[in-house]
Chains A and B, each alone.
Chain A
Amino acid sequence: MSATTLLPLQQDSIVVRFGRWLRRDIRGALSLAFLLLLIVVALLAPWIAPYSPTEQDYANMLAEPSARHWLGTDDLGRDVFSRLIHGTASSLYAAFLAVGVAVLVGVPVGLVAGFMGGWVDLAISRCIDTLLSFPAIVLAVAVTGAMGIGLTTAMLAVGLVFSPQLARLVRARTLVVRQELYVDAARCFGASLPRLLLKHVLPNAIQPVLVQATLLLAVALLAEASLSFLGLGVQPPDVSWGMMIARGYMYMEIAPAQMYVPGLAILLTAIAFNTLGESLRVALDPTLRGR
């Protein structure tokens, strides 16, 4: 098997496969499009939003939706639509940060555990089992409370709490790969451990991690909302969807729209992440294809 002849062919096939997948899986394609749109909105928020997210109008508080304010105004007379757009950035940042941390911590730990085996594996596996028996949000609440409030610390905590899930997944996958001959062969040639892990083991574990990470993005989004609702998330003057719900809760009886709007945004985004994750699972796993 020669790598030079295989490589271009593989690249081609990824693009082709991707295009074919988009055409076949409408739901996955729609989710992907929606998420890309959200990212664009988040990046271009200051130019898209009709108003500043902090501009206050005390003569016009908790106003109903109107031509001027598409989704009405909030408790300080700020434009809800603009705040929703600006909140996109915080909420997506939160989700990606948490999952990023989970991947960065979970994947190496899982790789090492699965590849080294022996007492290292045993110790790491016990730690994973322990952390998995903590109810996730509870641990995140406790860690955030301890480390200090703020969106970044909150999502670091969530990421740490998620990481054992990925570590377990990668470990299982690594164990399988290790059994396969070519790693043993590489080992015999004296390849160093990091090189071995990176070149041979990681690529085989990457697909399930990709699927799981996409699914986790939805969970992280919900976690941001929960922590912000409890007052452990974003700090003024920033805004996130979870914080908007928390504020809406204060005015639930007077202006329910305050609560519906950010909740729906979270729901739709979480559905998109989830659908995309499921689509990826089907697309990447040969045994599931065709179902």
Chain B
Amino acid sequence: MFLYPIFDTLVEWDYATLAPRPGLAKAWHYPDPRTLVLTLQENVRFHDGTPFDAEAVKFNLERNLRDPRSNIRTELASVESVAVTGPLEVTLKLKEPDTVLVLILSDRAGMMASPKALQELGERHDRSPVGTGPMRFVDWSDGEKVVLTRNEHYWKPNRPLVDGIEFRIITDSATRLRSVISGQADVAYHLDGRQIPLIERSRQLQLVTGPTIYCYQLYLNMSRGPLQDVRVRQALNFAIDREAFVKATMAGAGEPAYMNLPRSHWAYDEEVAKLYPYDPDRARALLKEAGFSNGVELDMRGYSDQGSVQRQEFLLEQFAQVGIRGRFRTGTIPEMSATYFGPEKGGDFLLSAFTGRPDPSQTYALMYLEDAYFNAGRVPPPPGFLEALLRSRSTTDIEERRQALSVVQRIVMENALVVPLAFRNEVSAASARVENMRSNLLGKPKFEDGSLQDT
């Protein structure tokens, strides 16, 4: 989150719907499905004074394509080559049609760093980044704070509106809120729903909230045990009262999730969302049909922080009502993720979350393709899935894309490849002098239009 003010991305996204909009690339078009041409903003300079031009874009993209340390590589997998076709024009040749690339360039893959700094600093650039963004990097102390100062020569007019930003890294949400209440900080991001009454109670604070695509969900391993049977997976989906989940574990600051996208997303499909109402009787019947009339025992995995434990306790009680029994084995996030998704393949499901990607087809590819990391059982996707996914990537027409993605979503949910639980609302608290702060659907805070009132 500290990266957004330092680095501009080639493409930006709309706060409310995540539709792409111009960034460092002021325009783009596909002359044919395998070619993407980006036209760049003029008169942009990096913080170190070097000009931002087509060469710089080529340098960055090629670095992202090659860098063995990064996982960005996979996001840019469809890019075959990058060519400079004008001082401010870059042409990307693609291996296969990929219209998603535009939105991919709105995230890490599209962040532009100074080639000069990259060459001079090498790996040390990670710790003193140089971009074109509204804020310049000043200082970084691990696990503590990141200090940024105003970029006086920023290319967007009348921005930035603040003189600098100091990010304090406070892992505990209660502490984050207290730091705003006590006036040590102006804004606290990523608070919990249960803290909303505290924010509202305090007169010097304002609540900034809005939906995000961050989704709590069960990742299923469909290659082992009872979850090989689609009826058991459907039973899991019917067994959960998602409204109660949002109320009890998120203090209402969320949206029940019936598929991988929230209601406000451009590719949301109302019909798919109706597939799994809360219906414990259906769940019991499905389990019986699958041959588990005495209930079924599952090996459940999760994380050990209290927030996760609370969600686990909620689910255990809901599952117990329909005859799904078991205990959660909890561990640290890296340990559990590695044992669940890695080669060991321990557990039937993992209660975790998906942070979301700018384009839904990325999400579906990451979760359900046969070789996808988040497809714990490495089970091939149901018939029709791959075709629909590719179709969603081969057109720029939003209506056609929506239809293709609806097909994908229907296949995913009918086969119950996942148990979505709820989307988290961003809950931020800002002191009274903060103006114009907005949340966005991706849930990655940008403080672009925000400003501070002099007091």
Contact = CB atoms under 8 A, between A and B. Distances in A.
A182 B174 CA distance: 64
A235 to B, nearest CB: 5
A246 B197 CA distance: 20
A231 B305 contact: yes
B331 interface: yes
Contacts of A252: 174
Interface of B is mostly: helix
A76 B313 contact: yes
B333 to A, nearest CB: 11
A253 B197 CA distance: 10
A58 B310 contact: no
Contact of B312 (A56, A236, A246, A247): A236
Nearest to A238: B327
Given A145-B332, A149-B332, A58 B248 contact: yes
Nearest to B311: A236
B247 interface: yes
A79 interface: no
B317 A54 contact: yes
Contact of B194 (A55, A237, A254): A254
A213 interface: no
Interface string B244-255: 100111000000
Contact of B174 (A149, A247, A249): A249
Interface residues of A, number: 26
B314 interface: yes
Interface in A72-116: 75-77
B248 A56 contact: yes
Interface of A is mostly: loop
Interface in B233-252: 244, 247-249
A86 to B, nearest CB: 13
Given A148-B331, A149-B330, A249-B174, A77 B304 contact: no
B317 A235 contact: no
A193 interface: no
Interface in B132-180: 174
Nearest to B241: A58
A76 B331 contact: no
Given A54-B313, A76-B248, 18 more contacts: A55-B317, A56-B248, A75-B310, A76-B310, A76-B314, A150-B329, A231-B304, A232-B304, A235-B330, A236-B312, A236-B313, A236-B316, A237-B316, A237-B317, A243-B306, A250-B310, A254-B194, A254-B197
Interface of B: 174, 192, 194, 197-198, 244, 247-249, 302, 304-307, 309-310, 312-314, 316-317, 320, 327-332, 335
10 contacts: A54-B316, A56-B314, A76-B248, A145-B332, A232-B304, A237-B316, A237-B328, A247-B306, A250-B306, A254-B198
Interface of A: 54-56, 58, 61, 75-77, 145, 148-150, 231-232, 235-237, 243, 246-247, 249-254
